[in-house]
Amino acid sequence: MIYTQYHNASDNELADLFHSSNWNNLSHDEKLAACQEVANRDALAHGMTPVEVEPSNLRCTQFGYYSSSDGKIHTNESVLNNGTILCANGEEIAYAGSNAETLNTIFHENSHAYDAQLSQAISDKQNGFSYNSAIIEDAESRGIDIDLARASDTIYVPFEQNTDAYRVQYCEKRAYENGEKNTAEFFEKSEAHLGRDEEYAAYTERLEDADSYYSALNNLKTVYGDDSFDKTMNEQTKDIFFADHREDSVFQYGTSDSRQDIRSMLDGTHGARLVSFYESNNITNEHYSEARADSASQYSSHSEKDTYTAQSAYGDDADSLSISGESNDNSDAERSMASSNFSDHASDGISSTRNSISNTPIKAEANNSASSSSSCSSSDHDDNSDLDADS
C-alpha cells in the first residue's frame, strides 16, 4: 500500500479534490497524492495490489500508460501539473478538462494493471503457486471473460498499427469504460454540492463528439464486411493465445476472410484493406496523425534493446517508423504504441498508453494567448523523446 495524505478522506472529499475549483489550487504533490489515493482505492475494491502513480514527461495527448516493467502508472506531467499539453516543438497548449482527463487516465491505466495482475494470478494458480484469489473472485463476480482478458492483455493491437481495432479490442474497451464510468461518478458527487464544473463539461463534450468505440467498430464492420467484427476479433484473440496451450496447435474457429484478416492483423501482418478504406473515404484525421507521429517519436532512441517497426493503417507515412522498447518478461496492454511484433506481447517489453483518439480538434488556448480550436500538428512530433515504449 502506498499511503497518501488523503488516506483518511471520505469518498466525497476525495472526489471534491478533482473539481476544478479545488484542483486548480492544489500543489503538484497534492495532485499526485490525490491520483495515488484514487489508484489505491480502485485497486483494493477489486482485489488488486495497488500500483504506484508516477508523473512522466509525455508529449501532447498521450495522457499516460501502465508499464509492467516497473509496475507503475505513468501520467502526463504537463497535463497533471499545468493543465497543458506539451508539443514536441516546445509549445504548451492549455487543455480544458485536464482535471477529468487525469482522473480518467488513472482509472483507465489501473484497468490494464488489473489485467496484468489477473493474468498473473491465473498463471500462479495453474502452476500450483500461491496466488491472488481475491482478484479472480472479483473478475468472476463482475462477469469479466477471464480467458479473453488474459488473451487480450497479451495478443494486442497497438494504436499505431490499427487505431480502430486498438479501440475495439477487449482490454481497451474495458479500460475506456472503467475510466469514463468512474470519472463520471466522481464528478456527479462533486458537482452535487460544488456546482457545475466547466472543465469537466469540456471533457465530456470531447467524449460525446468522439464516440470513439462505436465509430471505430462501425469502420471495422464496413472494412471487413463483418457485422460481428468485435465478436470475431475476440474469438481470434483467444484462439491465438490458447493455440500454444493445445498439443495440436490447430485454430478452432472458422476461416472466413474476415477472421483470416483479423488473425493476420493480430499476428502483426495486417494487410492493405483498411488503408484502402480510409483513402477511398478520404478519412484523414489530423488528430490521429498527430498521435501516430507522437507515438513514434516517443519510442525511438530510448533503449538499445528490441527495435520494432510501425505498421500504419493509414498509409505509407508511418509504415517504417523505428521504435525501441525496453525488454522485460511481463508487459501489459499498450494504448498507442507502434509495434509490428506483438504475437507474444508479454515478452516484448511493451506496456499500455492512454491517448486521445477524438475525431475533433482539441478545444484549447495557447498559453498566454487568445482562445483557439487547435491540436498539435503531426509536425510537432518529429523529435525523439526519452520515453519507455509503453501503453
Q: What is the mean pLDDT of the chain?
A: 73
Q: 71-80, 131-140, 228-237, 261-270 — which is least confidently predicted?
A: 261-270
Q: For residue 295, tell me if it sits in a domain.
A: yes
| Contact assessment for residue 280 and residue 303, using Cβ atoms and an 8 Å cutoff | no
Q: At what angle do helices 257-266 and 212-224 cross, to 10 degrees?
A: 120
Report the number of distinct structural domains present in the chain.
1
pLDDT for 242-295, tens place per residue? 875 555 555 444 445 556 666 666 654 443 444 444 455 554 444 334 433 333
Q: For residue 213, tell me if it sits in a domain.
A: yes
pLDDT for 90-110, tens place per residue? 888 999 999 999 999 999 999
CB atoms within 10 A of CB 25: 8
User: What pLDDT shows up at residue 353?
Assistant: 63
Query: pLDDT-based confidence at 73, cuts 50/70/90?
Result: very high
| Contact assessment for residue 303 and residue 319, using Cβ atoms and an 8 Å cutoff | no
User: What pLDDT shows up at residue 75?
Assistant: 97
Q: For residue 388, tell me if it sits in a domain.
A: no
User: What pLDDT shows up at residue 188?
Assistant: 98
User: What pLDDT shows up at residue 260?
Assistant: 63
Q: For residue 361, tell me if it sits in a domain.
A: yes
pLDDT for 330-349, tens place per residue? 333 333 322 222 222 332 33
Q: For residue 4, tell me if it sits in a domain.
A: no
- Per-residue pLDDT, averaged over 370-390, amounts to 33
> Taking 90 as the threshold, does the pLDDT of residue 369 lie above it?
no
Query: pLDDT-based confidence at 226, cuts 50/70/90?
Result: confident
Q: For residue 1, tell me if it sits in a domain.
A: no
Q: For residue 386, tell me if it sits in a domain.
A: no
| Contact assessment for residue 340 and residue 311, using Cβ atoms and an 8 Å cutoff | yes
**By three-state DSSP, how is residue 7 classified?**
coil
Residue 384: what are its φ and ψ, rounded to 5°? -80, 155
pLDDT for 51-62, tens place per residue? 999 999 987 778
Rounded to two decimals, the pTM is 0.73
Query: pLDDT-based confidence at 133, cuts 50/70/90?
Result: very high
Separation between Cα atoms, residue 104 and residue 363, nearest integer Å: 18
Q: For residue 390, tell me if it sits in a domain.
A: no
**Residues of the domain holding 356:** 11-381
**By three-state DSSP, how is residue 307 classified?**
strand
| Contact assessment for residue 157 and residue 266, using Cβ atoms and an 8 Å cutoff | yes
- Amino acid letter for position 65: Y
Separation between Cα atoms, residue 185 and residue 374, nearest integer Å: 29
User: What pLDDT shows up at residue 147?
Assistant: 95
